[in-house]
Amino acid sequence: MTERGHAHMQRDRHEFVVGPSRVRWDGQALVIDIDEITAPLPRRVRGQVRVHPQGLCRFVTGLDADVAAGADARHRWGPIAPCARVEVDLQQPGVRWSGHAYLDSNEGDEPVDRGFRDWDWSRAVLADASTAVIYDVRPLRGTGRVIAQRFAPDGSATAFEPPPRQPLPRSAWWLARTTRSDRGVPAQVVQTLEDTPFYVRSVLRSGLLGEPVTSVHETLDLQRLVSLPVRLMLPWRMPRRG
């Protein structure tokens, strides 16, 4: 919730500390201790999140156009725990819940806006407890790349044919977005979780691999992210220290 400089961060083999918050692995779960202040309206968020993986995954692929994982990929994505369970216990505000979880990693050798125009991403839990992920990437140059992978609870991955692309209603900030759903099964927006000028995250109902699914979906517009109006607004939403 706050961008912090090097002086406010510590990292070793056991934990990663950012200001008053920290992430650590206790041998069974990823433990996230949160102590932050929200913006622009100041309110304390304090508590703990625990992510319990069912199986760790070694799948990594390049997001670049026509590039798979390897030395030529400048942007890489891979799930760490695609099938997991989360426990949330916040003292401020008083919120407790648990449910399905997913944890992944993105890394790059350049700022992400230099490689991509936008993307749509979604993940859904299937009837057999596997997780299906679709990454629909549009680069600045070259052809687009669609990654469709099904991850079993043990962390193994299997590619599948992505269904056709469908348009979704524009967001409140007029962000264009799409998703992929089985032919003849229209996708519906159930709930919008986060809506910003460059990013929107929602809960969808759609069809995937012959099943009705509820999925978490996001659209990211990188060119909006680096536009001057958005860069001027960002410090009000995510303050910077050091």
How confident is the prediction along the chain (242 residues), in pLDDT tens digits per residue? Answer: 788 999 999 999 999 999 999 999 999 999 999 999 998 889 999 999 999 999 999 999 999 865 554 557 889 999 999 999 999 999 999 999 999 999 999 999 999 999 999 999 999 999 999 999 999 999 988 788 999 999 999 999 999 999 999 999 999 999 999 999 999 999 999 999 999 999 999 999 999 999 999 999 999 999 999 999 999 998 888 888 86
pTM above 0.85, yes or no: yes
Q: Which residue has the tokens 């469908």?
A: 166
pLDDT digits (tens, 9 = 90+) for 2-41: 889 999 999 999 999 999 999 999 999 999 999 999 988 8
The C-alpha atoms of residue 202 and residue 172 are separated, in whole angstroms, by 12
CA angle 120, 161, 108 (to 5 degrees): 45
CB 21 within 8 A of CB 36: yes
CB 33 within 8 A of CB 22: yes
